[in-house]
Every structure is written in structure tokens, then in C-alpha cells.
Amino acid sequence: NAGVTQTPKFQVLKTGQSMTLQCAQDMNHEYMSWYRQDPGMGLRLIHYSVGAGITDQGEVPNGYNVSRSTTEDFPLRLLSAAPSQTSVYFCASSLAGAPEDTQYFGPGTRLTVL
Amino acid sequence: AQSVTQLGSHVSVSEGALVLLRCNYSSSVPPYLFWYVQYPNQGLQLLLKYTTGATLVKGINGFEAEFKKSETSFHLTKPSAHMSDAAEYFCAVTDPTDSWGKFQFGAGTQVVVTP
């Protein structure tokens, strides 16, 4: 049971490039989400999904796309990277997405956009 | 709308001393409350949470927190700090009336433990 896994661990992009951050979980969780972590700002919700085929925007969705074709995977796409997207990105999952549910976090992807 | 305030971005404690991390929330309804810990270069790990029932909640690694509705607070304590407690700590809330648990995080408190 690997929990929540994320790839890559580190990535450097040039402005305007695109890339996909991968997230997978093997706990059969329905709810998955993406956060970005910036110094002094805690973690902010980018997008979330309450099941395969269902996604919605969080607090800071601009510049990011998501899709959920399977229960296990929830990739985050940067369409045209900008320096403002330099951050650490965390994927999380919970069993049913209820407000009382514990969310389990992956190890993070550290992204630098030059 | 909810918000979370963690007082003090950095806290330094001596090994063996009390650890006290402050968390206050602003919410139209009492939220569900969580404390997470982040060790260097790792993801977040749940320490404890309060949803309903007893307002004093015990978590892992000797930490506990008390929900005080009148003070809109959920401060985290540990009686005796250990070197391994050096990490960043995040308070987070969710809205019980929401369909989904969208976390609102505080800015975090970095804890340094000195010998």
C-alpha cells in the first residue's frame, strides 16, 4: 500500500512550457485534490475531484487543468507555465471527501518556472 | 467564508519545554479542525482532528489540542518537546455544512527545538 504518490519530485520549466504533474493513490479513495504551497501562505486548493469524471475548481484554479478518468489517478496540467506557478504542489486524497474525513498527502512536487 | 490564523510563523522551544502553537479560526459555523505536521521535504501528516464530541483531542507523538468555541481557538500543545518535533505545523478547517471537505489552511508555524 503506497498511499499517495507523486511524480516527478522536482521539475524546472521555462516560461510557456507545459507539463503534467502526476498523482496516484491506491486506497480506493473517491476524493482527490491538488494544493500549492507557498511560503507564508499555507496550502491553497487548486482543483478537486469527488469521483471519476467529476472535477471542480478550488481557490486558485487559473492556469491549471485537471481530469479524472480513473479513481486512482488525478493529473494536474500546466498549460503554459509562468514564474508565478513556481511552488511546491501536493496531491491529497480522502475516502469520501466528507468535511470530517482525514486527507492523506503525497510527498510533493517542487516546481520552478524560469 | 472561513479563515485560519496561526499566531507566530516561527517558534523556538528548548528540548523538554512546553510546545504551544496557536490557531484561531473565523467561521459562521463551528468548523471541523485539523492539525497537520510537515517534516522537511515531506508531505503533510495528520496529528489530530476535532469533529464532534470531546473537545480535548489527543493525537500522535504526544500532541493534544482543545477546541474552545467561545475563543474560536484550537491550540496545539505538547508537554515536553523532543528534537524530532522540529517541523512545520499547519492548522486547517473545513465547513461541516459543505458537501466536500475543502481545507482552509493557516500559514503555518515553523518549530525549532534547541538542545
B96 has a chain A CB within 8 A of its CB: yes
- The partner residue sitting opposite B43, judged by closest CB among A33, A90, A98, is A90
- The partner residue sitting opposite B44, judged by closest CB among A40, A58, A105, is A105
Least CA distance to A46: which residue of chain B? B102
Q: What is the pLDDT of residues B53-71, one digit of tens each?
A: 999 999 999 999 999 999 9
Is the pLDDT reported for residue A107 higher than 90?
yes
| Contacts with B102 from chain A: Cβ below 8 Å | 33, 45, 48, 58
Rounded Cα gap, residues A50 and A29, in angstroms? 9
The pLDDT value given to residue A87 = 97
Least Cα distance to B109 among B8, B40, B34 occurs for B8
- The partner residue sitting opposite B43, judged by closest CB among A40, A42, A105, is A105
Contact by Cβ (8 Å): A72, A24: yes
C-alpha cell of residue A56: 471542480
Confidence band (pLDDT; 50, 70, 90) for B99? confident
| Contacts with B94 from chain A: Cβ below 8 Å | 99-100
Rounded Cα gap, residues B115 and B113, in angstroms? 7
B32 has a chain A CB within 8 A of its CB: yes
A66 has a chain B CB within 8 A of its CB: no
CB neighbourhood size of B61 (10 A)? 13
Least CA distance to A41: which residue of chain B? B107
Rounded Cα gap, residues B62 and B81, in angstroms? 9
C-alpha cell of residue B4: 485560519
The pLDDT value given to residue A41 = 87
Confidence band (pLDDT; 50, 70, 90) for A76? very high
The pLDDT value given to residue B62 = 96
Hey, are the CB atoms on B96 and A33 less than 8 Å from each other? no
Hey, are the CB atoms on B49 and A100 less than 8 Å from each other? yes
| Contacts with B4 from chain A: Cβ below 8 Å | 42
In three-state secondary structure terms, B81 is coil
The pLDDT value given to residue B63 = 97
Q: What is the pLDDT of residues B43-56, one digit of tens each?
A: 999 999 999 999 99
Span A20-34, mean pLDDT?
97
pLDDT above 90 as % of chain A: 92
Confidence band (pLDDT; 50, 70, 90) for B114? very high
Is the pLDDT reported for residue B1 higher than 80?
no
Q: What is the pLDDT of residues A40-66, one digit of tens each?
A: 888 999 999 999 999 999 999 999 999
Rounded Cα gap, residues B21 and B80, in angstroms? 13
What are the residues whose beta carbons fall under 8 Å from the beta carbon of A32, sequence distance 6 or more?
A23, A25, A48, A49, A68, A74, A91, A92, A93
Hey, are the CB atoms on B102 and A40 less than 8 Å from each other? no
Average pLDDT, chain A: 95
B residues 41-80 lying closer than 8 A (beta carbon) to A: 41-46, 49, 51
In this structure, the strands spanning B109-114 and A87-94 are unpaired
Span B35-41, mean pLDDT?
93
Per DSSP (E only), the strands in chain B are 3-7, 10-14, 19-26, 32-38, 44-50, 56-58, 64-68, 73-78, 87-94, 104-105, 109-114
**DSSP codes, chain A:** ---EEEE-SEEEE-TT--EEEEEEESS--SEEEEEEE-TTS-EEEEEEEEETTEEEE-SS-TTEEE--SSSSB--EEESS--GGG-EEEEEEEESS--TTSPPEE---EEEEE-
